[in-house]
Amino acid sequence: MSSKMLFQSIPLLLLALLAIAILIPACTPNFNSAERVKEYKTILTKTRDTAPGNQESLKAFTEFLQKIDDKVFVESNTAKVYAADAYLNDTLVTHHGPDEIKTYFLATADTMTKYQVTVDDTVSSGNDHYVRWTMIFTAPKLNAGKPVESVGMSHVRFNSAGQVVMHQDFWDSGTNIYCQLPVMGGVIESIRRRFEH
């Protein structure tokens, strides 16, 4: 094969690879949002009669949120903050119990080079606590390594020992994670633009 033919075939090869990268995820089993909502509502029912919590438990939770990038802190504090039967859904994944949650946050810390969470507000209503936050993080594989900024809210409930039994995050993980990925981000952005018209 001549070098001229090789250079002419490169764009076709790249186009084929792009098509494969887009089509493979499209062929995977459908994400079932109804199942996620059902699980959240089941957890709400299961934890309906939990303790009202207090400022100490809320402070321990917000401190944990602010130190997810500190692996030593996560290692030694996850089981103190999260109950044995804790539920966590951060819109990306669902985990149960402090061991799963700790493993997840340790892996998350490995992906980030910088991380900052500012707690903007907290509101409590009975045993429901809502923590509104601003997050700025940097990960080499996202947004070409530039900072990604997001706002979100965590809904938490505590047991009588002040540990988190339910932690549900609400934030735009699509824009702040998936749209920051090479190739996929461009595809998602082009779809988003179509909805604007």
What are the b/e assignments for 117-145, b being 16+ CB within 10 Å?
Answer: bebeebeeeebbbebebebebbbeebbee
Q: Which residues of 146-177 are buried (b: 16+ CB within 10 A; e: fewer)?
A: eebebebbbbbbbbeebbbbbbbbebebeebb
Residue 88: enclosing H or E segment and its boundaries?
strand 82-89
Condensed to tens digits (0 to 9), the pLDDT of residues 111-138 reads 888 989 999 999 999 999 999 999 988 8
Q: Which helix (H) or strand (E) holds 6?
A: helix 3-27
Fold type of domain 53-196: Nuclear Transport Factor 2; Chain: A, (3.10.450)
What is residue 89's predicted lDDT score, i.e. its pLDDT? 93
What pLDDT does 153 receive? 95
Place of tokens 């998602």: 188
- Tens of pLDDT, residues 41-67: 999 999 998 888 888 999 999 999 999
Tokens of 170: 């609400």
Is the pTM higher than 0.75? The answer reads no
pLDDT for res 187: 47
The DSSP code sequence of 145-163 is G--EEEEEEEEEEE-TTS-
In the prediction, which pLDDT does 194 show?
56
Predicted confidence at residue 63, as pLDDT, reads 97
Look at residues 51, 68, 70 and name the one whose alpha carbon lies nearest to residue 166: 51
Domain spans, the chain: 53-196
Q: Which residues of the chain have pLDDT under 50?
A: 15, 19, 23-24, 26-29, 174-181, 183-185, 187-188, 191-192
Amino acid in the structure at residue 152? G
